[in-house]
Amino acid sequence: MSQTFFSRLEERTQASGSLLCVGLDPHPADLSEFTPAAAKAFCLKLIEQTVDLVCAFKPNAAFFELLGPQGWQVLREVIAAIPPQVPVILDAKRGDIASTADAYSQSAFEQLGASAITLNPYLGHDAIAPFLKDAAHGVFLLCKTSNPGAGDLQDLPLAGSNEPLYLQVARYAQEWNQHDNVGLVVGATQPEALARIRQAAPGLWFLSPGVGAQGGDLTLALRNGLRSDGLGLLLNVSRSVARAADPRQAVIELNAAIHAEQVKLTAQPATANPISPILAEGLLRAGCVRFGEFTLKSGLISPIYIDLRQLVSYPDLLTEVGRAYLPILRQLRFDRLAALPYAALPIATAISLQSGWPVIYPRKEAKEYGTRALVEGEFHSGERAVVIDDLATTGGSKFEAIDKLTDAGLQVQDVVVLIDRQSGAGEALAQAGYRLHAVLTLTDLLDYWQSAGRIPLEQIQAARAFLHV
C-alpha cells in the first residue's frame, strides 16, 4: 500500500522538528513589481530561506491566478522547486460536483503537482470524493475559518442538537477519512472552537491559519488543537514570516516557541477528566471569575470572585456549561432536574434543552397567593430529583433546597454543580447521605490558568492561599 498523505506529513514533522506551514502568497504589496518573474523570485527566496525548518508550504492559488496564464505556470514551477519530501498544500478552497470536481482534482494533483488541497465541504461528500481516490493526496476541509465573518454560516445551530454546523463538518470529516487523507481547516483565531473540534475529531490533522498577522494566540492554539501525541496541528504562517526582516530567523523563533509549549504540555500529568479549555477560557472572558480585591458579604477581602449569574449574557458559553453537566448526569438515576434559584435556573434550562430532562425548582420563599407552592414545575411524589447548582461552598444552600424538595415528596440523592470551591460542601453533604458531583474544581481552574499563563502567578497564589486549595 502506498504511503498516505498524513503518514508522510508526520514523517516530515519528525524530520524537520516543526509544525509550521509557510504560506507562499506573492501579494502585490510584497513585490517591487507585480509580474510573474517577481512573484516567482519572491516564492523561491522564501522557500530557500526556510525549507529545512518547516513542515510544509501552502501556495495561495489566488495570487498566482491574478497574474494570468503566466501566473499559473509560475505556480507550477514554484511547487516543482519544493523538495519532494516536503508536502505542498494548494490553498484553492475548491468546491464543486461530478466531473467538475474530478477536473479540479486532476488540475491540483496531476497538473500542478500539489500534495494536498483546501476544499469547501458544503456541497457534500460527492464534491470531496474525487480528491480522496489516492491516499497519497490529502484534503483539508473548511471547518471553522479564521476570518471575522466565519460565524455567519459556520456557527448556525443544527436543528435538534443546537450544536454549530462546524461540528457536523468535523464529524463528516472523520467519516470520510477512510484513507488517512482528510483534515480540517480550523483558525487559530477561534481557540474555543478549536477545542470543541478537537474533542469532536480527536485524531484528525488541523491546518490552522491565524497565528501572527491575524492575532491568533500561539499558546492557546497549541493547547486546544494538539492531539494527545503532540501532533495533529499544522500552524500556517504567511505575512508574519514573509514580511519579517529576516524570514529564516522568524521561523526559528516560532519553532522555538512552539517547542517550548509542546514541552510544557507533554510535561503535565494526564488526568482522567482533563479540564475543558472552552469552559476555563469562557469563564474568564465572561467575567464569571475575576481576580483582584473584592469585599465579600462576610466583610472579608477576597483576591478572587466567582459570579456565575453572568452566564445568562453569554448564550454560547451557557450552552457549553449545560453540555458539560451531561456526562455526570447520564451516570445518575433521577426523573427531574431541580435547579436552585437563581444562578442554576438558566444552567438547568440549558441542560434540559440539550437532554430533554424536565426542570423543577424550589422557591426561595413560598408565594403568599395562588398555589403557595414551595416547588415550581410539574412533578409527582416519590420521583427522584437531582439538585443542580452553580457552585458548592459549604453546602448550606443545598440542604435548604433538599429539605423543600423532600417535604414535597421528592427523593434526593445527588447534587451536581459546575464548580466545587472545595470548602467543605462535599464532606458535609456526604455526612448527611448525599453525593456531590462537580464538573470542575477550583483547583482544576487555577491549575489551568497558571499553566496557560492566563493569570499572573501572584494572583493565582493569593487565591490558593485565601481558599486553602
Q: What does the block give as the cell for 316?
A: 454560547
Report helix angle 191-200 to 218-225, nearest 10. 10
Count of residues in the chain: 469
Rounded distance between C-alpha atoms, residue 384 and residue 387, angstroms = 10
Rounded distance between C-alpha atoms, residue 343 and residue 288, angstroms = 11
Burial (0-12, 13-18, 19+ Cβ within 10 Å), 134: middle
241 to each of 142, 146, 300, 303, how far by Cα in Å? 23, 18, 51, 41
Question: Of 392, 164, 155, 192, which is closest to residue 278 (Cα–Cα)?
Answer: 192
Question: Of 173, 163, 121, 117, which is closest to residue 142 (Cα–Cα)?
Answer: 121
Indicate which residue of 40, 58, 93, 133 is catalytic.
Answer: 93
> Do residues 98 and 66 touch, judged by C-beta distance below 8 A?
no
Q: Is 45 part of the annotated catalytic residue set?
A: no
* Secondary element (H or E) of residue 337: strand 336-339
DSSP state for residue 107 in the 8-state scheme: I
> Do residues 224 and 203 touch, judged by C-beta distance below 8 A?
no
- The per-residue DSSP string of 209-229 comes to E-BSTT-B-HHHHHHHH--TT
Q: How many CB atoms lie within 10 A of CB 280?
A: 23
Helix and strand element counts for the chain (H, E)? 19, 16
> Three-state DSSP class for 231?
coil
Residue indicated by cell numbers 462535599: 426
Rounded distance between C-alpha atoms, residue 270 and residue 219, angstroms = 18
The number of C-alpha atoms within 13 Å of 458 and in the hemisphere containing its C-beta is: 1
State the distance between the two ends of the chain, measured CA to CA, in whole angstroms: 54
Tell me the one-letter amino acid at 374. Answer: L
- Which residues are identified as catalytic? 93
